[in-house]
Amino acid sequence: MLRLAVILPTLNERDNLAPLVERIESALGPEGWEAIIVDDDSKDGTADEARRITLADPRIRVLHRIGRRGLASAAIEGMCATAAPFVAVMDADHQHDPALLPAMLAAVEAGTCDVAVASRFVAGGSVAGLASERREQGSAMANRIASALTGVELSDPMSGYFLLPAETVRQLAPQLSGIGFKILLDILAASSPPLKVQEFPLQLAARRAGESKLDRAVAFEFLIGLYEKTFGHLVPTRFALFGTVGALGVGVHMAALALLYILAGSGFALAQAIATFVAMSFNFWLNNWLTYRDQRLKGLGAVLKGWAGFCATCAVGALANVAVATLLQARGVHWVLAALAGIVIGAVWNYALSSRFVWGRY
Ligand SMILES: Nc1nc2c(ncn2[C@@H]2O[C@H](COP(=O)(O)OP(=O)(O)O)[C@@H](O)[C@H]2O)c(=O)[nH]1
Ligand SMILES: [Mg+2]
């Protein structure tokens, strides 16, 4: 009987897969489990390697996502793609030891806890001297915010290795944002009453092959979590980020304009055009760094293409903005209100287009 599905989100982990499947097998035995590799169209052929393993071993399955990115959404989709009553999420790079799985499963199966979390910072856990990991622990502040968000005391709220009933995930899935890397926090915060957590000491190992894709910005993730919990149902998180970046962009625009027009004495039209370009570029950079952190464009080619696409998108948004504002103003709406309406319409338009064409695929 299938008891447990192990979800393995992957981005360029080809060489790690086969040895990991072996380690999962030696931890869980020959049957009762499956592993679902959720690959975001890795360039190194991870999905092909996963299919190769699957042909020889039907316990392994592949979810090959095209035009999608993000660890959190990969984990959610993997957890919803199984009939197993229990699901675990773990990194595919061998940093998480599969040997913990049986104890974690036993605890959740027995009902001792609702969620089993592998923690680096509970007694017996360790981070194998990884400097960047050690920094996270120091943040008592972060842990306090996490427990306020989730109603649960956790020593390692950013853990990416946990196990829980699949039914719990399916129930909470509609409320999960799927943004960023903090999928465990997301699940814990979405549940009321709070889920009962049991921690298992994890000795975090070094990655086996390949390189790290995530630069977890813990403080940023907490801010997002806080926002989601309080205002997320009113204005979607990503749009709020996009809007905030846009507002900062207005400041950049005005600064550039003042510099060129007042200080350097350029003609107004030229100064305005250059300021617009500067502001668009600034917005592209900040959105790529913040709003779409989990799907960030990297590499010179991708960034240049994204930048050009973003400027083109904004040009269309600006047209919509001016058209709406002009129309409203001509109909007798106060000019300030007309301008604001134009700005909101332009922003929604830019957001819709750029999320699809710049950071999405279509
Ligand atoms: N499907 C998918 N997996 C990802 C993505 N980003 C990271 N991963 C996987 O998530 C796990 C953790 O990522 P990693 O780069 O090791 O982060 P680190 O452990 O914080 O350095 C690894 O198995 C990655 O392959 C993504 O955008 N999509
Ligand atoms: Mg890793």
Nearest C-alpha neighbor of 317 from the set 351, 285, 293, 346: 346
- Are 194 and 324 contained in the same domain? no
Q: Are residues 124 and 268 in the same domain?
A: no
Q: Whose CA is nearest to atom 12 of ligand 1?
A: 91
Say how many Å lie between the CA of residue 9 and the centre of ligand 2: 11
Half-sphere exposure of 315 (CA within 13 A, CB side): 8
Q: What pLDDT does 149 receive? A: 77
**Integer Cα distance of 346 and 280 in angstroms:** 13
Predicted pLDDT at 103: 97
CA of 143 to the centre of ligand 1 (A): 22
CA of 221 to the centre of ligand 2 (A): 17
Q: Is residue 221 part of a domain?
A: no
- Across-strand partners of 38? 9, 63
Query: Looking at the domain assignment, is residue 224 inside a domain?
Result: no
The SS3 call for residue 106 is helix
202, 89: one domain: yes
70 and 159 belong to one structural domain: yes
Minimal-distance CA residue to ligand 1 atom 21: 212
Q: Which ligand is nearest to the CA of 213?
A: 1
Could you tell me the end-to-end alpha-carbon distance of the chain, in angstroms, rounded to an integer? 41
Would the pLDDT of 55 be above 90? yes
Q: Is residue 33 part of a domain?
A: yes
In this structure, the answer to whether residues 94 and 195 fall within a common structural domain is yes
Does this model's pTM top 0.75? My answer is yes
For ligand 1, the distance from its centroid to the CA atom of residue 183, given in whole angstroms, is 12
Distance of CA 91 to the CA centre of its chain: 14
Q: How far away, in angstroms, is 249 Cα from ligand 1 center?
A: 31
Q: Which ligand is nearest to the CA of 9?
A: 1
Instruction: Report pLDDT for 158.
Output: 81
Report pLDDT for 23.
97
Helix (H) or strand (E) holding 62: strand 60-64
- Report CA-CA distances (Å) from 213 to 71, 132, 270, 293: 10, 14, 41, 11
pLDDT confidence of residue 218 = 65
- For 293, the token pair is 């952190």
**Spatial separation of the C-alpha atoms in residues 138 and 258, rounded to whole Å:** 43
Residues 147 and 263 in one domain: no
Give residue 94 CA to ligand 2 midpoint distance, Å: 8
Atom in ligand 1 nearest the alpha carbon of residue 91: 23
The tally of domains found in the chain comes to 2
Q: What is the pLDDT of residues 241-299, one digit of tens each?
A: 999 999 999 999 999 999 998 888 888 888 888 998 999 999 999 999 989 887 888 88
CA distance 72 to 55: 27
Residue 337 and residue 268 share a domain:
yes
Give the residues surrounding ligand 1 with Cβ less than 6 Å away: 9-11, 13, 38-40, 69-71, 74, 91-93, 95, 207, 212-214, 216
CATH number assigned to the domain comprising residue 56: 3.90.550.10
Q: Name the least confident of 38-52, 223-237, 331-345.
A: 223-237
Kindly state whether residues 257 and 190 are assigned to the same domain: no
Report the pLDDT averaged over residues 195-224.
Answer: 81
Lowest mean pLDDT among 20-34, 119-133, 347-361: 119-133
Tens-digit pLDDT profile for residues 108-153: 999 999 999 999 888 888 876 565 555 555 456 777 777 877 888 8
Do 279 and 180 belong to one domain?
A: no
The domain boundary residue, chosen from 176, 211, 246:
211
275 and 195 in a common domain: no
Rounded distance, CA 11 to CA 144, Å? 31
The mean per-residue pLDDT over the stretch 333-362 comes to 86
Say if 220 falls within a structural domain.
no
pLDDT at 144: 77
Does some domain include residue 231? Answer: no
**Ligand 1: which residue has its CA nearest to atom 16?**
212
What percent of the chain lies above the pLDDT cut of 90? 52
219 domain residue, yes or no:
no
CA dist 226 to 63, 143, 149, 189, Å?
A: 31, 13, 7, 10
Average pLDDT, the chain: 88
User: What's the pLDDT band for 180 if we cut at 50, 70, 90?
Assistant: low
Per the domain annotation, does 217 fall within a domain?
A: no
Which domain covers residue 103, as residue numbers? 4-211
Inter-residue contact 164 to 191 (CB < 8 Å): no
Shared-domain flag, residues 195 and 273 = no
* Top mutation candidate among 71, 79, 162, 208 for ligand 1, by most atoms within 8 Å of CB: 71
Give the mean pLDDT of 298-317.
Answer: 92
| Paired strand residues for 197 | 115
Query: Structure tokens of 47?
Result: 């999905």
In a domain, residue 109? The reply is yes
- As given in the structure block, the two tokens for residue 48 are 């092909």
- DSSP secondary structure string for all residues of 241-289: HHHHHHHHHHHHHHHHHIIIIIIS---HHHHHHHHHHHHHHHHHHHIII
Q: Which residue has the tokens 């779409």?
A: 292
> Does 60 share its domain with 157?
yes
Q: Determine the atom of ligand 1 nearest the C-alpha atom of 216.
A: 20
